[in-house]
Chains A and B, each alone.
Chain A
């Protein structure tokens, strides 16, 4: 893909001291994985990789440097760039200290789906091209193997960048509403059954919260002692409380990157809750997070004509 260009660009940025650090991806410790890496010397840029497994949201890794004076270059897919925009807007990171290298996202592939469909797989047998890959002499479409969160992607192209590497790409054709429609059409009891089954699997490891670039509270309400909102025990009611509370905290801020859902060890469709909230906001308050630096967040403003029929 554009690995060489990314390495060259990062090297150049570090050598000219335009930035002090590059946040990117390097190969993970297991095959079909990439992990975040922080690079501050030009010779280390060889470690950088960019492939269909570079899924963690790197905006998350900006936050520890909020109070430093470092200037940071960040590799950003559509969702990473949107998350950075929200962080800038919420004054969690100054615009002038982040250099966004925009990367139109080729779609992140789920290792689980590959293994399920193809059985035992080795990394070296795969060669990826645009939207397809070669495996055992056969050409496969990428789309069915995409992470759920990526197949419903609405913004593969970064809305904010200092430079763009690669060509802007089209949507996959399946929209985020497809996932929600399935549940929207169900009866109250069916919806409850779905969420009861999903959320009773939650072990409250908080991986979803920790992967989220926008869950940056120093003390999370889930772990607060005074007031104690919720117990740490993973019972259904506490799990539901945590996830509903988290979705409400992300209202008008979630950028649908799906980092929470990909981080979940129990494979709970946890990204759907904040996504639903985003869709409620989009439909009723015509706002989408991370697309503009000027527009007010929906819960920090109001209109006199907001829906109010539900109030007696």
Chain B
């Protein structure tokens, strides 16, 4: 059972860079693990820290957030604001004892199909090492 376990990873990709990077990886037929579920967002700055917590609560084993390289943001500075938020969240999660590799961040540009596949491989590998997420995952669901 445990050997067959594959992590589920939610990937928030910014529309202008990382999503296009993933697209490039696709059209260039670059292989990467199929563990990620992509959610396209307008900008990494639009990723509310609550999205990340929510993904973990809903049962994701890992979260990847990826945006444009600093200086390359389509909205000029969205990723700089994002970097501050993510830094705080990342430190806080570690401090309450949640494994630091559960939530990972990367900058991938639209021309970096190869880098995108490497980032996903690395992310999946690190999450696999941690095993299934238990902390923060909701215990049961209410149907309303």
Q: Are A241 and B53 in contact (CB under 8 A)?
A: yes
A303 to B88, CA, bound (A): 15
Interface residue A124 (Cβ < 8 Å from any Cβ of B): no
CB-CB under 8 A from B88, the residues of chain A are 248, 251, 277, 280-281
CB-CB under 8 A from B70, the residues of chain A are 304, 308
- Count of chain A residues with a beta carbon within 8 Å of a chain B beta carbon: 45
- Minimal beta-carbon separation of B134 from chain A (angstroms): 10
Q: Are B136 and A241 in contact (CB under 8 A)?
A: yes
User: Which residue of B70, B104, B138, B140 has the most chain A CB atoms within 10 A of its CB atom?
Assistant: B138
Taking a contact as CB atoms closer than 8 A, the residue among B80, B89, B99, B104 that contacts A304 in the complex is: B80
A194 to B97, CA, bound (A): 9
- Minimal beta-carbon separation of B13 from chain A (angstroms): 13
Given A233-B142, A280-B88, A312-B105, CB of A244 within 8 Å of CB of B83: no
User: Which A184-225 residues sit within 8 Å CB-CB of chain B?
Assistant: 184, 188-196, 221
Q: Are B99 and A299 in contact (CB under 8 A)?
A: no
Given A237-B137, A240-B136, CB of A191 within 8 Å of CB of B96: yes
A195 to B119, CA, bound (A): 31
Given A241-B136, A248-B92, CB of A306 within 8 Å of CB of B97: no
A222 to B130, CA, bound (A): 29
Given A221-B50, A307-B87, CB of A235 within 8 Å of CB of B138: yes
Q: Are B84 and A240 in contact (CB under 8 A)?
A: no
Q: Are A236 and B139 in contact (CB under 8 A)?
A: yes
Taking a contact as CB atoms closer than 8 A, the residue among B83, B94, B104 that contacts A312 in the complex is: B104
Interface residue A311 (Cβ < 8 Å from any Cβ of B): yes
Interface residue B15 (Cβ < 8 Å from any Cβ of A): no
Given A244-B92, A306-B80, A312-B104, CB of A192 within 8 Å of CB of B53: no
Q: Are A306 and B83 in contact (CB under 8 A)?
A: yes
A222 to B135, CA, bound (A): 19
CB-CB under 8 A from B105, the residues of chain A are 310-312
Q: How many A-B residue pairs have CB under 8 A?
A: 113
Given A244-B53, A245-B53, A299-B81, CB of A192 within 8 Å of CB of B135: yes
User: Which A283-312 residues sit within 8 Å CB-CB of chain B?
Assistant: 284-285, 298-299, 302-304, 306-308, 310-312
Interface residue A256 (Cβ < 8 Å from any Cβ of B): no
User: Which B68-121 residues sit within 8 Å CB-CB of chain A?
Assistant: 70-71, 77, 80-81, 83-99, 104-107, 119
Interface residue A62 (Cβ < 8 Å from any Cβ of B): no
Q: Are A188 and B104 in contact (CB under 8 A)?
A: no
CB-CB under 8 A from A235, the residues of chain B are 138-140
Binding site for A on B (CB under 8 A): 49-50, 53-54, 57, 70-71, 77, 80-81, 83-99, 104-107, 119, 122, 135-140, 142
What would be 11 A-B contacts, judged by CB atoms less than 8 Å apart? A190-B97, A192-B96, A195-B96, A196-B97, A229-B53, A235-B140, A302-B77, A302-B80, A306-B87, A310-B86, A312-B105
